Amino acid sequence: MQTLHVELGERRYPIFIGSQLDPQALLAPYIHGKQVMIVTNATVAPLYLAHYEGAVRALGKAVSVCVLPDGEKYKNIEHLNLIFDALLEAGFNRDCTVLALGGGVIGDMAGFASACFQRGVHFIQVPTTLLSQVDSSVGGKTGINHPLGKNMIGAFQQPQAVLADMAQLKTLPERELSAGLAEVIKYALLGDIEFLAWLEAHMDGLVARDPELLAEAVYRSCAHKARIVANDEKEQGERALLNLGHTFGHAVESYLGYGEWLHGEAVAVGMVMAADLSYRMGWISAEDLQRTKKIILRAKLPVICPKIPLDQFLAYMSHDKKVLNGQLRLVLLKRLGQAVITREFDAELMKQAILANQQ
């Protein structure tokens, strides 16, 4: 097992990374109060709920469970309210812990619920997908979607601890594994050219679910995110770099309907669009653009998206959280391994990059 820490002063918390981890031993110091609400979904519950429920009960805690339907389309106010219903019906008080057992949707919703319930209760992340292990479980971003924009309603709510168990990735559908690899590739493109070379050398093993390689990829990805979050918790500056590909990708997700494409699939195409625009602006070479596309394809991810009317694509981009004072900011590549946040881009070249990567 490897352990990282997100350094946020008194709110410092660990990320445990390994295989066949012991939740009873690892989570015992981080469960507050006698009441624990495990929030999970209908896919994860049959696989892992009994194990975690048993571990928490063995610590002498009173456990309740809220099982939500599985899918991005349920990441909304209606299903968020089901968590509040479960907490209130079970008589939970302020001295309790919400444990998120699932992928990014469950982590985001359970975290947001914990931020709101009685104005804030403790929260633990147990991410069961690669995407949530390397990205959404770390850093405290929680929330739900709105028809006009993804993740537009939410709160910063840091967990007490994160437990990322590689053994759980054995049951992950291939498409979900690839979606997680999109976020892994993102860390390399935005800030670590050596990590990109490592991914190029080991992508076949990652796709084949080699547990040691997956643990290394998760560790290196989380290390990048932990450092950035420690420097810029509320995304006032550097943290926005983590949105490489996301402004374009969120437009794809929003237009197609949440859940039609997985988040990582949309981010993959978004990264290609960002790289394409960076190429058109003369920042990266044609070879760099092809290198970006190649590693994404090797992860079994798309590099083009369905045809989306340009005016609608741009309208969804205008609702992005990185719009500031009416101006869209994009995360682009000065070179592979160095991303920047900029308003200084040619709108016509951006339109060309969008259109060039649709079919």
Among 75, 79, 224, 250, the active-site one is 250
Cβ distance 164 to 16 under 8 Å? Answer: yes
| CA angle, 65 then 76 then 144, to 5° | 95
Give the burial class of 64: count Cβ atoms within 10 A of its Cβ; 0-12 exposed, 13-18 middle, 19 or more buried: middle
Structure token digits, residue 11: 């709110």
Among 75, 186, 224, 239, the active-site one is 239
Dihedral of the alpha carbons of 40, 300, 341, 325, in degrees to the nearest 10: -60
Distance separating alpha carbons of residues 277 and 349, to the nearest angstrom: 6
Residue 141 designated active-site: yes
Closest listed residue to residue 18, CA positions, set 219, 195, 220: 219
Cβ distance 136 to 225 under 8 Å? Answer: no
Residue 79 designated active-site: no
Distance separating alpha carbons of residues 179 and 176, to the nearest angstrom: 5
Residue 119 designated active-site: yes
Residue 239 designated active-site: yes
- Taking the CB of residue 196, how many other CB atoms lie within 10 A of it? 20
Among 53, 176, 183, 216, the active-site one is 183
Residue 250 designated active-site: yes
Closest listed residue to residue 269, CA positions, set 241, 239, 306, 319: 306
Number of helical (H) and strand (E) elements in the chain, helices listed first: 13, 11
Q: Is the dihedral of CA 46, 204, 336, 175 positive or negative?
A: negative
Among 61, 75, 122, 141, the active-site one is 141
- Taking the CB of residue 316, how many other CB atoms lie within 10 A of it? 20
Among 75, 122, 220, 263, the active-site one is 263
Distance separating alpha carbons of residues 201 and 333, to the nearest angstrom: 22
Among 72, 176, 216, 235, the active-site one is 235
Residue 10 designated active-site: no
Residue 235 designated active-site: yes
Distance separating alpha carbons of residues 179 and 239, to the nearest angstrom: 21
Among 41, 145, 243, 357, the active-site one is 243
Q: Which residues are catalytic?
A: 119, 141, 183, 225, 235, 239, 243, 246, 250, 263
